[in-house]
Structure 1
Amino acid sequence: MADMMRNLPALRLVAIAAAAGIVAGVTSLYVMGGPDGNTGETAQAGACAANAEKVAALEPAIGGEVAAMLPADPPQSMSDLAFNGPDGEAMTVADLSGKTLLVNLWATWCTPCREEMPALDALQRENGSDKFEVVAVNVDRGSDEKPKAFLEEIGVDSLAYYRDNSMDVFNTLKTRGLALGLPVTLLVGEDGCLLAHMNGPADWASVDAVTLVQAAMGEGGG
């Protein structure tokens, strides 16, 4: 008993050191964020914040048929936005890096979506390239049968078939304050950063839409 009493100060020091180690470990985990932690998101946000001047330069091209477009405020990364590609495999916007993208979420049960689909197809047909793509993501629940039949019925043949039957892509945008309903459209730069966004339909085959896309690509309007 006497030996235990004599060792109490030492035991207290060991306990304190252990507690300090635990706190330091937790702090380290929080700061580092781990492989999927906060540091990656912070780095992406920082990179997109540098696009503020590009977003400001885009504003004069917003008008007419695309007047409902809102400049990104603040610019944020869309690189992790996930859906399935034309091959049915999971992908993200990051897989399309190097292109300016017009990402459009649509569904067959959404009347405005159905009405603007031919214009999106025309925009891709006339302006699609290795530098620009219309990424129309269908969010119907269930199988591919209904959306594919609709696209075939109206003669859409220039748009690649992107798909998310879980609605996760819509819900992700909703939590970010970018989606209120369908259709929702995002103008994304070649670095995956959001430049502008819109809720509701537009005439994407119009001169105004082409001018906006050209401005996003840094080509000027006309």
Structure 2
Amino acid sequence: MRLPLVIGLAAVAGIAAGLAVVYVRGGADGNVGPVASGDCSAAVEAASLLKPLVKGEVAGFQIADRPVSLSHLAFQKGDGTAASLADFGGKTVLLNLWATWCVPCRREMPALDRLAESEAGADFAVVPVSIDTQDPGKPKAFLEQIGVKALPLFADPTTKIFSSLKSEAMAVGLPTTVLIDGKGCALGVMSGPAEWDSDDAKTLITAARKGA
């Protein structure tokens, strides 16, 4: 069974960018690679234990109901060198797909930065990946403009990371944020912005970290 899709996407695609989710198009041939179940069966059970914590600021978080490994998802570091989620093995990861043209993405970035500053460590990482396709300097300039203290710069100008998640019904627009366990297995996804440094979000993430 796939993660649930957000209802009524077509109806909101042309509405002003200030809405909760900004929708983007991704080609069906843009997959990074096959999304395999790997050894992620246990992650489905672990994800189900998070259900009581899906409320308040993270009420829109969709719990994973099938095993999906995301370790292969690839992107670039700020210096242009290759990176992937496999580099974060052993850590619970909050993967955030964003773009500078996405107003809700820009609005939630400070909260992600505060989360990274207060919570990132040996067992947890916030991994924001820009999918800007035009000027490669825009994401860096934006993060500098808002004065981020802890968020790293990652990018995928090919947007293949978005297309890969979209093909598995795990990405319908921006921002898209996926909570991933220490083995690279999806625990759930949020379509749209959230206050990621709120008590509700931190409680959800802490529970995921304990289960990693």
Q: Calculate the TM-score normalised by the size of structure 2.
A: 0.80
Aligned match of 1:91: 83
Structure with higher RCO (Cα < 8 A, 6+ apart) = 2
Distance 1:217 1:64 in 2: 20
Aligned match of 1:187: 179
Secondary structure of residue in 1 paired with 2:97 = strand
Distance 2:67 2:52 in 1: 17
Secondary structure of residue in 2 paired with 1:45 = coil
Aligned match of 1:110: 102
Spell out, residue by residue over 1:123-168, the C-alpha distance to the aligned partner (whole angstroms, 9 max, x if none): 0000010110100001101333111111111111210111111111
Distance 2:80 2:120 in 1: 21
Instruction: List runs of 5+ in structure 1 lacking aligned partners.
Output: 1-40
* The 10-residue stretch of structure 1 (70-79 or 97-106) with the greater mean CA deviation from structure 2: 70-79
**1:167 and 2:159 equivalent?**
yes
In structure 1, what residue type is equivalent to 2:54?
I
- Structure number, greater radius of gyration: 1
Spell out, residue by residue over 1:172-193, the C-alpha distance to the aligned partner (whole angstroms, 9 max, x if none): 1111111111000000000000
Among residues 49, 68, 71, which one is paired with 1:57 in the alignment? 49
Spell out, residue by residue over 1:42-74, the C-alpha distance to the aligned partner (whole angstroms, 9 max, x if none): 9x5151112222111111111110110011111
In structure 2, what residue type is equivalent to 1:191?
K
Aligned match of 2:23: none
Aligned match of 1:129: 121
Distance 2:78 2:187 in 1: 25
TM alignment of 1:1-222, pairs within 5 A: 45-218=37-210
Secondary structure of residue in 2 paired with 1:112 = helix
Secondary structure of residue in 2 paired with 1:47 = coil
Distance 2:38 2:157 in 1: 32
Distance 1:98 1:168 in 2: 24
Kept in 1, the 8 Å contact 2:38–2:69? The answer is: no
Secondary structure of residue in 1 paired with 2:178 = strand
Runs of 4+ in structure 1 displaced over 3 angstroms? none
Q: In the comparison of the two structures, how many residue pairs are matched?
A: 179
Distance 1:87 1:207 in 2: 34
Distance 1:209 1:169 in 2: 24
Distance 1:109 1:195 in 2: 28
Secondary structure of residue in 1 paired with 2:83 = strand
Larger relative helix fraction: 1
- Distance of aligned partners of 1:152 and 1:47 in 2 relative to their CA distance in 1, 3 Å threshold: same
Q: Calculate the TM-score normalised by the size of structure 1.
A: 0.77
Secondary structure of residue in 1 paired with 2:40 = helix
Percent identity between matched residues is 48
